[in-house]
C-alpha cells in the first residue's frame, strides 16, 4: 500500500473546502426527510469527493461514499480504529467502518490524487423510541405521543405490519401520530425512528381496542314507567338489549335497537320492570351485524311508595308508609302545590325503614293530600291519601281551635307490607264512604237515645202496676 501523496497548496485548499461542504451537507442530517444513499454527483473521474451516507448509532456503523479516479484506492482512517481500504470502480466508491461513541473525525484519502477529506461524525447513545398511548375505542383511534431526539427524524408507524402513519419531527421536538379507524381487537404497533440515513431505534407495543359499549346512565322511573340507559359506543355501531327474560322488545314487538351517533353517544328507553328490584340488562354492540362486545348494566328499581292515614285523638293526622330508602316524601295538594308547614317550608319526610308525618288536620287542605316520593331529586311515584273531614267548630279565640295542636313531626316506623303503587292511588281510611264522618259518633248518640227510651218504658210500666194495686 502506498503512502498518501501530499497535495499542492491549491489542492489542499480545495480539499478542505470539499470537507467543509460534506460536513455540513444535508445528507448527514435530515431536512424534512431521511437522507438517501448518496453518490456525490456525476463528476469527471479525476475528481475526488467523500461524504457520510448514514450513521447507525446503535452499532456505531458509519457508511461513506464518494467519487474518485477509477482504479484508484481510498484509505479511510479514524482515531481508535484500523484503516479501511476500498477501490474506486466506475468513478465511485463506498465503504463502512465502526466508530466509537461521541464526536469523531473520519479522514478519507485518495491514493491517486493525494487529497484528504476530513468528515466530522458523532455517534449518539440512544434508547429505542418510547411514547404515551391514548386508546379511544369509541372514536376508534390510537394516539401515540413521544419525545424527539437531537436530530430531525421521521417516525414510521405500522399496525400489524401495515404502514399507518409517517410523521416528521424537528430536532428536539416531540412527535405525535394518530391512528384512525382501528377495528376492535388486538393491535401490534411498531415505530421506527429514522434519521442520519437509516433506522435508528425501533419501539414495539400492543393494545386491545374494545368494542363494548359504555353505560353511563342506568335508571328506572316509576313516574314515566320507563328504564333509561345511555352512554358511549364505537362510532357506526348499533346496540341491542337483553335481560333474564330474553331480548328486550320495542313497541313494535321487534328487538329494541339503539344507534350510536357521530359523537359516540347513545340512548335507549326500555320497558319498566314490574316485578324485580335489581334489573340486569346486557348491552351488545354490533358492527355491520357482527357482535364485537358486551356490557352489563345493573338498574336499581325504586321501591313503590305506600301510605296510610290515621286520625289521632288530638285531631292531628298521622301519615305513614314505606318507600325507597334514602328517598324523600313531600306533601302536595291535589293540584300539585306543595303543602307548607307552620314554618313556611314544604312538609317532607326522609325515608328510612319507612316514613311518617304527624300533621294538624287544619294544615292539610281539602279532602285529599298527595304524598310524592323523590329519589335523588327525581320523582318516583305518588299516592293520593283520603283525609278525615275537617270538624265544624266555633271561630277560634286567642289562638285556640283547629291548627293550634302540635306541629309537624317526622319519624320512622316498622315497614308496612309493600304494594305496587306506581300510579297515584287512593288509600281508604276507615271513614264513611259518602259523608266521610266517623261512624262511632252516630252510633254513640243512637245508643244514648235507645237507653233513654228503654228506661222510660220501664218507668211507665211500674207506674201502671202501682195504680192497679190501689184500685
pLDDT digits (tens, 9 = 90+) for 231-244: 999 999 999 999 99
Residues 6+ apart with CB under 8 A from 442: none
Model confidence pLDDT, tens digit, residues 310-360: 999 998 999 999 999 999 999 999 999 999 998 999 999 999 999 999 999
Please provide the average confidence, as pLDDT, over all residues in the chain.
81
* Whole-number Å distance between alpha carbons of 386 and 371: 11
Give the pLDDT score at 80: 74
Distance CA 384, CA 345 (A): 21
- Count other C-beta atoms under 10 Å from residue 78's C-beta: 20
Q: Which of 133-147, 288-302, 432-446 comes out lowest in average pLDDT?
A: 432-446
Q: Model's pTM, two decimal places?
A: 0.63
Q: With 60 as the cut, is the pLDDT of residue 38 above it?
A: no
pLDDT reported for residue 93: 96
| H or E segment and range at residue 20 | helix 9-23
Contact present, 325 and 370 (Cβ < 8 Å):
no
Lowest average pLDDT, out of 123-127, 194-198, 271-275, 446-450, goes to 446-450
Question: Under DSSP, is residue 442 helix (H, G, I), strand (E, B) or coil?
Answer: helix
Amino acid at each position: 500500500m502506498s503512502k498518501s501523496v501530499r497535495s499542492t497548496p491549491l489542492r489542499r485548499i480545495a480539499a478542505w473546502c470539499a470537507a467543509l461542504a460534506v460536513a455540513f451537507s444535508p445528507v448527514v442530517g435530515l431536512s424534512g426527510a431521511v437522507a438517501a444513499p448518496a453518490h456525490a454527483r456525476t463528476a469527471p473521474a479525476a475528481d475526488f469527493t467523500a461524504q457520510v451516507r448514514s450513521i447507525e448509532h446503535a452499532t456505531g456503523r458509519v457508511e461513506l461514499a464518494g467519487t474518485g479516479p477509477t482504479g484508484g484506492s481510498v484509505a479511510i482512517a479514524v482515531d481508535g480504529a484500523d484503516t479501511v481500504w476500498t477501490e474506486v470502480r466506475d468513478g465511485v466508491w463506498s465503504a463502512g467502518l465502526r466508530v466509537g461513541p461521541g464526536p469523531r473525525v473520519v479522514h478519507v484519502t485518495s491514493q491517486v490524487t493525494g487529497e484528504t477529506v476530513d468528515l466530522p461524525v458523532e455517534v449518539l447513545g440512544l434508547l429505542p423510541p418510547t411514547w404515551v398511548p391514548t386508546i379511544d375505542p369509541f372514536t376508534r383511534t390510537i394516539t401515540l405521543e413521544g419525545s424527539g431526539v437531537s436530530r430531525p427524524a421521521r417516525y414510521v408507524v405500522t399496525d400489524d405490519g401495515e404502514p399507518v402513519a409517517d410523521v416528521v419531527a424537528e430536532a428536539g421536538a416531540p412527535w405525535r401520530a394518530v391512528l384512525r379507524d382501528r377495528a376492535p381487537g388486538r393491535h401490534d404497533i411498531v415505530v421506527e425512528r429514522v434519521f442520519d440515513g437509516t433506522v435508528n431505534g425501533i419501539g414495539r407495543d400492543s393494545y386491545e381496542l374494545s368494542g363494548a359499549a359504555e353505560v353511563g346512565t342506568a335508571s328506572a322511573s316509576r313516574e314515566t314507567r320507563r328504564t333509561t340507559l345511555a352512554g358511549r359506543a364505537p362510532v357506526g355501531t348499533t346496540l341491542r338489549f337483553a335481560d333474564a327474560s330474553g331480548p328486550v322488545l320495542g313497541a313494535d314487538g321487534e328487538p329494541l335497537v339503539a344507534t350510536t351517533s357521530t359523537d359516540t353517544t347513545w340512548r335507549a328507553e326500555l320497558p319498566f320492570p314490574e316485578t324485580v328490584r335489581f334489573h340486569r340488562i346486557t348491552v351488545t354492540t354490533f358492527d355491520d351485524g357482527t357482535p364485537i362486545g358486551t356490557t352489563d348494566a345493573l338498574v336499581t328499581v325504586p321501591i313503590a311508595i305506600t301510605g296510610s292515614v290515621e286520625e289521632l285523638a288530638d285531631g292531628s293526622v298521622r301519615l305513614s308508609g314505606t318507600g325507597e330508602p334514602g328517598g324523600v316524601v313531600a306533601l302536595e295538594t291535589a293540584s300539585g302545590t306543595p303543602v307548607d308547614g307552620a314554618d313556611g317550608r314544604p312538609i317532607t319526610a326522609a325515608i328510612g325503614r319507612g316514613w311518617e308525618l304527624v300533621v294538624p288536620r287544619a294544615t292539610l287542605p281539602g279532602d285529599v293530600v298527595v304524598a310524592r316520593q323523590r329519589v335523588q331529586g327525581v320523582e318516583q311515584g305518588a299516592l293520593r291519601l283520603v283525609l278525615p273531614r275537617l270538624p265544624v267548630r266555633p271561630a277560634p279565640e286567642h289562638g285556640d281551635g283547629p291548627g293550634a295542636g302540635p306541629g309537624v313531626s317526622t319519624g320512622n316506623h316498622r315497614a308496612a307490607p309493600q304494594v305496587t303503587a306506581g300510579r297515584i292511588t287512593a288509600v281508604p281510611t276507615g271513614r264513611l264512604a259518602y259523608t266521610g264522618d266517623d261512624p262511632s259518633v252516630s252510633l254513640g248518640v243512637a245508643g244514648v237515645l235507645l237507653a233513654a227510651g228503654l228506661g222510660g218504658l220501664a218507668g211507665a210500666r211500674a207506674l201502671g202496676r202501682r195504680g192497679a194495686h190501689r184500685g
